[in-house]
Chain A
Amino acid sequence: MQNTAYQDRKSAADQKPTADTAVLLRIIKLALRYRVRVAFAVGATIAAAIFQLMIPPLLGSAVDNALGLLSGGGVVAEDARSALVRAALLLLGASVLRGVFTLLHNYNGEAIGHLLAYDLRLAFYGKLQNLSFSFHDRVHTGELITRGMLDLDGVRMFVNTGLLRLVLLTILIGFGAYLLISTDIWLGLLSLSFVPFVAWRSSIARLRLRTLWLTLQERMANLGQIMDENLTGIRVVRAFGAEPYEIEKYDAASEEAMAVAEERIKTRVSSTTVMSYAYFMSMGLVLWVGGLRVLDGTMTVGTLTVFLTFITILQAPVRQLGLLVNSIARASTCGSRLFDILDLEPTIDDRADAKPVELTEGKVRFDDVSFTYAGEGVLPVLHGVSFEVQRGKTLGIVGPPGSGKSTIAHLLPRYYDPSGGRISIDGQDIRDITLESLRQTVRVVQQDPFLFTASLENNIAYGDPWADDGMIQDAASAAQIDGFVGLLPDGYGTLVGERGVSLSGGQRQRVAIARATMLRSAVLIFDDSTAAIDAETEQRIRESLKPHMANCASIIISHRLGALRHADEIVFLEGGRIVERGTHDTLLAENGRYAALFALQNRDGDTDMALQGVAE
Chain B
Amino acid sequence: MSSLSETERAAARPPRAVVGSQISMDEEMFGAVFDGGVIRRFLSYVRPYRRSIILALIAVLVFTGAQLSIPLIIRYAIDEAIVSDRADTFRLTIAIAVFGVVITINYAANYLQDRLVGLAGEHVIFDLRRAMFAHLQHVALSFMDKTEIGRMMSRLQGDVNSLQEFLENSITAFGDIVLLFGIVIIMLMLDFKLGLLTLSVVPTLLIVRVIWLPRARVAFRRARETNSITNGALAEGIHAVRTVQGMGRENVNFQLYDDKARENMLAHLRSAKFAQAMIPVVDTLTGAAMGIVIIVGGTQVLDSTLDIGVMVAFLFYVQRFFDPIRSLTIQYSVMQRAMASGQRIFEVLEVPLAISDKPDSIDPAVIDGDIAFNDVTFGYTKNQPILKGVNFEVKRGETVALVGPTGSGKTSITALLHRFYDVWDGAVTIDGHDVRDFAKASLGRHIAMVLQDPFLFTGTIFENICYRTASATREDVERAAKVVGAHDFIMQLPDGYETVLEQQGRNLSLGQRQLLSFARALVADAKILVLDEATANIDSYTERQIQTALSRLLKDRTGIVIAHRLATIRGADRIVVLQQGSIVETGTHDALIAQKGLYARLYALNYASFDDIPDDMLQEALSGPAQT
Contacts and interface: CB of A to CB of B under 8 A. Distances in A.
B107 A464 contact: no
B265 A114 contact: yes
B246 A413 contact: yes
B29 interface: no
B468 A241 contact: yes
A102 B279 CA distance: 7
Contacts of A268: 114, 118
* 8 closest A-B pairs by CB: A241-B444, A95-B287, A99-B283, A99-B280, A465-B15, A239-B449, A534-B612, A88-B291
Contacts of A229: 457-458, 504
A130 interface: yes
A149 B233 CA distance: 11
A601 B539 CA distance: 10
Interface string A224-242: 1101111111111111111
Contacts of B364: none
Given A291-B92, A443-B247, 13 more contacts: A5-B507, A67-B301, A88-B298, A95-B286, A126-B250, A234-B144, A239-B449, A269-B115, A287-B74, A309-B315, A446-B242, A454-B22, A535-B607
A81 B138 CA distance: 77
Dominant secondary structure at the A interface: helix
Interface stretch (A116-124, A332-340, A361-369, A577-585): A116-124
Contacts of B237: 125, 128-129
B604 to A, nearest CB: 9
Interface string B257-287: 1100110110011001101110111111011
B299 interface: yes
Given A103-B279, A149-B231, A604-B567, A466 B15 contact: yes
B21 A499 contact: yes
Contacts of A280: 70, 103, 106-107
A232 B126 CA distance: 21
A225 B10 CA distance: 44
A30 interface: no
28 contacts: A59-B290, A66-B301, A67-B83, A70-B304, A98-B283, A99-B287, A102-B283, A106-B279, A107-B272, A110-B275, A114-B265, A121-B234, A220-B157, A233-B457, A236-B467, A241-B444, A269-B114, A277-B107, A281-B100, A308-B312, A444-B246, A462-B247, A462-B249, A463-B249, A465-B252, A495-B23, A560-B537, A605-B570
B539 A608 contact: no
Contacts, number: 450
Interface in B503-527: 504, 507-509, 511, 524
Nearest to A536: B614
A238 B248 contact: no
B122 A265 contact: yes
Contacts of A63: 308, 311-312, 315
Contacts of B119: 262, 265-266
Interface in A300-319: 301, 304-305, 308-309, 312
B272 to A, nearest CB: 4
A605 B262 contact: no
Interface stretch (A140-148, A424-432, A541-549): A140-148
A248 to B, nearest CB: 10
A88 B295 contact: yes
Contacts of B136: 230-231, 234
Contact of B23 (A77, A269, A499): A499
A452 B543 CA distance: 31
A96 B297 CA distance: 21
B122 to A, nearest CB: 5
- The interface centre, meaning the residue of B241, B447, B566 with most chain A CB atoms within 10 A of its CB, is B241
B295 A284 contact: no
Contact of A238 (B18, B418, B467, B542): B418
B17 to A, nearest CB: 4
B89 interface: yes
A537 interface: yes
Contact of A2 (B93, B115, B507): B507
A601 B540 contact: yes
A327 to B, nearest CB: 17
Interface stretch (B127-135, B210-218, B393-401): B127-135
B130 A251 contact: yes
Q: Which residue, of B74, B95, B243, has the highest number of chain A Cβ atoms within 10 A?
A: B243
A87 B298 CA distance: 10
A270 B112 CA distance: 10
B476 to A, nearest CB: 15
A250 interface: yes
Interface string A89-104: 1011111101110110
Interface stretch (B44-52, B148-156, B330-338, B575-583): B148-156
B177 interface: no
A385 interface: no
B59 to A, nearest CB: 11
A276 B612 CA distance: 72
Contacts of A125: 234, 237, 254, 257, 261
A531 B447 CA distance: 33
B443 interface: yes
A251 B570 CA distance: 46
B16 A240 contact: no
B100 A295 contact: no
Interface in A578-616: 597, 600-601, 604-608, 610-612
Contacts of B243: 446, 449-450, 462
A85 B83 CA distance: 23
A233 B517 CA distance: 12
Contacts of A499: 21, 23
B502 A5 contact: yes
B539 A559 contact: yes
A274 B18 contact: no
Contacts of B111: 269-270, 273
Contact of B126 (A103, A236, A254, A467): A254
A440 interface: yes
Contact of A224 (B153, B298, B609): B153
Contacts of B236: 452-453
A276 B88 CA distance: 29
A62 interface: yes
A436 interface: yes
B455 interface: yes
A242 B444 contact: yes
B449 A240 contact: yes
A59 B103 contact: no
Contacts of A111: 269, 272
A67 B308 CA distance: 7
Given A102-B279, A241-B445, A276 B257 contact: no
B606 interface: yes
Contacts of B524: 240
Of B21, B455, B540, B567, the most chain A CB neighbours within 10 A belong to B540
B103 A228 contact: no
Interface string B309-342: 0011001100100000000000000000000000
A446 B246 contact: yes
Contact of B235 (A145, A301, A465): A145
Contacts of A6: 494
Q: Which of B16, B288, B315, B507 has the most CB of A within 10 A?
A: B16
B294 interface: yes
Nearest to A132: B245
Nearest to A75: B302
A498 interface: yes
B290 A612 contact: no
Given A66-B298, A228-B153, A229-B458, A95 B284 contact: yes
A102 B280 CA distance: 8
B146 interface: no
B239 A231 contact: no
Interface string A29-66: 00000000000000000000000000000010011011
A144 B234 CA distance: 9
B444 A225 contact: no
